Amino acid sequence: MPNSERSDGRRFDREYAVTTQAILFLSDLDPDDVGDAGYHATHYEGVPVADFRALLALVPADAIAKSTFVDVGAGMGRALILASELPFRQVVGVEVSASLYEVARENLETAQCPLRRCNDVRIVRADARMWTYPPGDLVVFLYNPFDASALEIALGAISSRRRNGATWLIYHTPVHREIIESDNRFRIAAEISCGSVYVCDEPPSD
Ligand SMILES: C[S@@+](CC[C@H](N)C(=O)[O-])C[C@H]1O[C@@H](n2cnc3c(N)ncnc32)[C@H](O)[C@@H]1O
């Protein structure tokens, strides 16, 4: 991680009075607890603040106002806190690690966030591959949480949710982008150096 990102992360923690700046491996945190998810997971690292804001700026304002934001692999909750500064209907994080989930829960309770525009912010402890994604329009954020096979399963769960609406996928560090790009329901909407934004405008399925 470049020094500038590390110091931006520390600044974020000071300003919001939280703890999110760390690099941690699930195998060191919860090896017995996360089961098979641990084999497919990347490490924990908070999203670079400027990258998150730049990627979210690529999603149209009317889509944000209609959508639930889902952070797939929410870690310590940095992206959830940043997303709560936008007028989403709801902000939800899914995290498989019990230790990271606990830190995120505490961070969400204590964060100083004067620019908050969404007050319904939650975190659940679950495996994002098997989770039941919320119905309706979604903006799904992935900061490279896992490998290609896990991404494919999670994409299936996202696409088959009840009362399917539009799905925006924001993929930071899109190392397995071929999984999304080979699914012809998704088209690329925008791209910057740190990541890609995809959209699926599929009409409601029920
Ligand atoms: C690179 S971190 C991203 C943290 C957070 N999204 C952020 O941007 O600050 C990836 C996270 O994905 C989580 N993760 C990996 N596999 C997962 C799974 N199957 N279900 C839920 N979370 C998972 C890891 O524990 C880790 O916290």
Please report the pLDDT score of residue 17 as a whole number.
Answer: 97
Residue of 34, 97, 139 best suited for mutating to test ligand 1, as the one with most atoms within 8 Å of CB: 97
Please report the pLDDT score of residue 181 as a whole number.
Answer: 97
3-state helix, strand, coil in the chain (%, to 5): 35, 25, 40
d(CA 47, CA 143): 7
Please report the pLDDT score of residue 4 as a whole number.
Answer: 82
Q: pLDDT tens digits for 46-85?
A: 999 999 999 999 999 999 999 999 999 999 999 999 999 9
Q: pLDDT tens digits for 147-187?
A: 999 999 999 999 999 877 999 999 999 999 999 999 999 99
Measured from the CB, is residue 143 less than 6 Å from ligand 1?
yes
pLDDT tier at 34, thresholds 50, 70, 90:
confident
Measured from the CB, is residue 13 less than 6 Å from ligand 1?
no
- Where is 157: in which H helix or E strand? helix 148-159
Measured from the CB, is residue 150 less than 6 Å from ligand 1?
yes
d(CA 47, CA 1): 11
Q: pLDDT tens digits for 109-136?
A: 999 999 999 999 999 999 999 999 999 9
* Count of alpha carbons within 13 angstroms of residue 97, beta-carbon side: 25
- Which contacts of 37-43 are long-range, i.e. CB under 8 A and separated by 24 or more positions? 37/96, 37/127, 37/129, 37/146, 37/150, 40/129, 40/146, 40/147, 40/149, 40/150, 41/73, 41/96, 41/145, 41/146, 41/147, 41/150, 42/144, 42/145, 42/146, 42/147
Measured from the CB, is residue 34 less than 6 Å from ligand 1?
no
Question: Does 203 score more than 60 pLDDT?
Answer: no
The answer to which of 3-7, 109-113, 127-131, 140-144 has the lowest mean pLDDT is 3-7
Mean pLDDT of all residues in 89-94:
98
How many angstroms separate the alpha carbon of residue 141 from the centre of ligand 1? 10
Structural tokens at position 95: 């995290």
N-to-C CA span, the chain = 44
Measured from the CB, is residue 46 less than 6 Å from ligand 1?
yes
Looking at domain 3-200, which CATH architecture does it have? 3-Layer(aba) Sandwich (3.40)
d(CA 182, CA 39): 24
Residues 6 or more apart from 45 whose CB is under 8 A from it? Answer: 1, 22, 23, 75, 143
Domain residue spans in the chain? 3-200
d(CA 192, CA 200): 19
Measured from the CB, is residue 56 less than 6 Å from ligand 1?
no
For ligand 1, atom 2: residue with the closest CA: 44
How many angstroms separate the alpha carbon of residue 75 from the centre of ligand 1? 5
Atom number, ligand 1, closest to the C-alpha of residue 20? 9
Please report the pLDDT score of residue 206 as a whole number.
Answer: 52
